[in-house]
């Protein structure tokens, strides 16, 4: 117990107070030394990386082969350094999902399972020391005050984990809210528990805002942290207006704790834990991150390509952080819309952020939306409003449709068929919320054009 508390406290104070660098160059020199030392250790401990890096010089790690989730899962047994087999890890994780008991471990190692929104569920393994270090770093980023004060945390997620429970202590009370349970039960627990820190996907925060506005929810947080899903600007606007609080963000996935917001609300990459390489998408500020986590040993994440699309902040943050600022996490690369060019057969990419801003501009009274591209020439759009707007619904839909068509024409695309459909609220725990979603394969579409 003492070792756990000491590790959590050490990483909390290290992250919040002790890690300081004179400038970006000094930080990058420190990061480079950390990465190289970590890679030497991984080279000695992971059979997969030993073979993958055979003949390559560690100092040139930026040129190492890139891996992704499929490669990591295919080589899971030889990639991890703690002797965990994929078959037994999946068996344990799936049993936890069905029984809702997430406490069992394998040889003292915490096993987790991703939600699999990309169609490929991923495993993560975390050692006790990594678990406690993670807890300290997360607390330093998200607590609305000192660790020495009392805090009550409500954590809404699809699945619990020993990883999350490691934050509990004398002054920290942590309660897991299982998204499988009915929202009415969550509201009752919140009104009884009265947590000061809410950590939840934006789709859940949106439903809680609805309940608060209707008078069903009395509890109100001191701080809200959005996790697990992309925080859409429209959701942010609605939730913040209801609770009169800014939403903070934690950008975390199976691959690690990647970013968190500062006091000014800017999402900063956790480059003191993870080295980010940027695979440019548009030649400007959009990029796909390639990760090298120099804090994870049990399941090394080295030159790992995410499927996410990030937009880098173009101006310095007032907080003065040396860590790269992110304007927005736009979503998965799989959710870029692709429309046929107006003249030739080439498919033109349309970024989710452009679609979001177009909808928000054309329907300022909407509180939620869902737009799905089913084929290169077919799109479905649904809108939700806080009050009855039936008398003007046709006008609003036609305005949004015209705005989207104008956007597509401006990008030299053929106008697709846009069908308006009724809005359906996603039940928490069933699947992640994706406001902008593409449901067809680019490859198959190319062959049909």
> What whole-number distance in Å separates Cα of residue 398 and Cα of residue 396?
5
Query: Token digits for 114?
Result: 């991703």
Hey, what's the torsion of the CAs at 38, 44, 48, 52, to 10 degrees? 80
For position 2, what pLDDT does the model report?
46
How far is residue 376's CA from residue 342's CA, in Å, rounded to a whole number? 12
β-pairing verdict for 123-126 and 110-113 = antiparallel
21, with CB counted inside 10 A (0-12, 13-18, 19+), is middle
pLDDT > 70 in the chain, percent = 91
- Give dist(CA 393, CA 381) in Å, integer: 13
Q: Whole-model pTM above 0.85? A: no
Question: Mind listing the pLDDT tens digit for each residue in 287-344?
Answer: 999 999 999 999 999 999 998 889 999 899 999 999 999 998 887 777 788 899 988 8
CB 25 within 8 A of CB 288: no
CATH 3.40.50.12780 range(s) for the chain read: 2-332
What sign results for the dihedral spanned by CA atoms 64, 69, 75, 80? positive
Q: How confident is the model at residue 94 (pLDDT cuts 50, 70, 90)?
A: confident
Q: Is 428 exposed, middle or buried (0-12, 13-18, 19+ CB in 10 A)?
A: buried
CATH 3.40.50.12780 fits 2-332, yes or no: yes
| Run of H or E residues at 25 | helix 24-45
Q: How many CB atoms within 10 Å of residue 421? A: 11
Half-sphere exposure of 350 (CA within 13 A, CB side): 32
The H or E element containing residue 248 is: strand 247-253
The CATH number of the structural domain formed by 336-448 is 3.30.300.30
CA nearest neighbour of 143 among 257, 320, 227, 263: 263
Least confident of 51-60, 135-144, 368-377, 423-432: 423-432
Region(s) of the chain under CATH 3.30.300.30: 336-448
Burial class (CB within 10 angstroms; exposed 0-12, middle 13-18, buried 19+) of 149: exposed
Residue given tokens 């998408």 in the structure block: 281
- Model confidence pLDDT, tens digit, residues 383-422: 988 666 565 778 888 899 999 999 999 888 999 999 989 8
C-alpha 253/C-alpha 251 separation (Å) is 7
Per-residue pLDDT tens over the stretch 175-221: 888 877 888 899 999 999 999 999 998 888 988 999 999 999 999 99
pLDDT digits (tens, 9 = 90+) for 65-74: 999 999 999 9
Contact in structure between 303 and 64 (CB atoms under 8 Å): yes
Residue whose entry in the numeric block shows the structure tokens 């177009």: 358
**Residue 361 confidence class, pLDDT cut points 50, 70, 90:** confident
- Tell me the H-state helices in 69-161: 69-74, 76-79, 86-99, 128-142
Asked whether 125 and 109 are in contact (CB, 8 A), the reply is yes
Bridge partners of residue 223, in order along the sequence:
197
> 251 or 349: whose pLDDT is higher?
251
Asked if residues 142 and 89 have their Cβ atoms less than 8 Å apart, the reply is no
All residues at 6 or more sequence positions from 238 whose CB lies less than 8 Å from its CB, including other chains = 206, 209, 367, 368, 386
Residue 118: pLDDT band with limits 50, 70, 90 = very low
For the record, the structure tokens of 26 come out as 């000094």
Residue 325's beta-bridge partner residues? 268
C-beta separation of 342 from 241 below 8 A = no
The reported pLDDT for the residue numbered 64 is 97
- Average pLDDT across the chain, whole number: 86
Q: Count of alpha carbons within 13 Å of 361, Cβ hemisphere only?
A: 12
Closest CA to 276 of 313, 248, 301: 301
Q: Tell me, rounded to whole angstroms, the distance of Cα 394 from its chain centroid.
A: 35
């Amino acid at each position: 117990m003492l070792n756990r508390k000491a590790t959590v406290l050490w990483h909390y104070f290290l992250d919040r107070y002790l890690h300081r660098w004179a400038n970006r160059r000094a930080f990058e020199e420190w990061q480079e030394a950390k990465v190289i030392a970590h890679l030497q250790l991984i080279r000695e401990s992971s059979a997969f990386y030993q073979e993958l890096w055979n003949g390559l010089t560690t100092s040139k790690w930026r040129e190492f082969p890139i891996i992704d989730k499929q490669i990591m899962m295919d080589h899971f047994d030889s990639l991890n350094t703690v002797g965990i087999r994929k078959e037994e890890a999946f068996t344990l994780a799936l049993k936890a999902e069905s029984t809702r008991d997430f406490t069992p471990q394998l040889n003292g190692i915490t096993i987790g399972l991703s939600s699999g929104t990309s169609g490929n569920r991923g495993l993560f393994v975390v050692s006790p020391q990594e678990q406690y270090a993670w807890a300290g770093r997360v607390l330093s980023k998200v607590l609305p005050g000192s660790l020495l004060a009392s805090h009550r945390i409500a954590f809404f997620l699809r699945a619990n984990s020993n990883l999350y429970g490691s934050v509990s202590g004398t002054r920290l009370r942590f309660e897991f809210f299982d998204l499988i349970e009915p929202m009415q039960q969550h509201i009752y627990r919140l009104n009884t528990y009265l947590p000061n820190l809410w950590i939840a996907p934006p789709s859940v925060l949106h439903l809680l805002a609805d309940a608060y506005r209707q008078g069903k929810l009395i509890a109100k947080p001191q701080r809200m942290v959005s996790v697990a899903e992309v925080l859409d600007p429209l959701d942010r606007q609605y939730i913040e207006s209801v609770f009169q609080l800014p939403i903070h963000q934690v950008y975390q996935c199976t691959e690690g704790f990647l970013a968190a917001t500062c006091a000014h609300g800017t999402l900063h990459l956790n480059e003191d834990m993870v080295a980010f390489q940027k695979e440019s998408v548009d030649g400007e500020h959009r990029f796909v991150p390639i990760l090298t986590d120099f804090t994870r040993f049990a399941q090394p994440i080295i030159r790992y390509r995410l499927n996410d699309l990030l937009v880098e902040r173009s101006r310095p943050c007032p907080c003065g952080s040396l860590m790269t600022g992110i304007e927005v996490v736009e979503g998965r690369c799989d959710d870029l819309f692709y429309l046929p060019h107006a003249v030739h057969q080439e498919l033109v990419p349309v970024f989710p952020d452009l679609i979001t801003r177009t909808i928000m501009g054309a329907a300022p009274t909407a509180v939620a939306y869902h737009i799905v591209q089913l084929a290169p020439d077919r799109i479905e759009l649904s809108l939700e409003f806080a009050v009855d707007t039936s008398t003007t619904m046709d006008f609003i839909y036609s305005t949004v449709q015209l705005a989207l068509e104008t956007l597509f024409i401006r990008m030299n695309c053929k106008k697709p068929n846009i069908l308006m459909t009724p809005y359906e609220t996603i039940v928490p725990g069933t699947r992640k919320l994706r406001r902008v979603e593409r449901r067809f394969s680019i490859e198959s579409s190319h062959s049909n054009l």
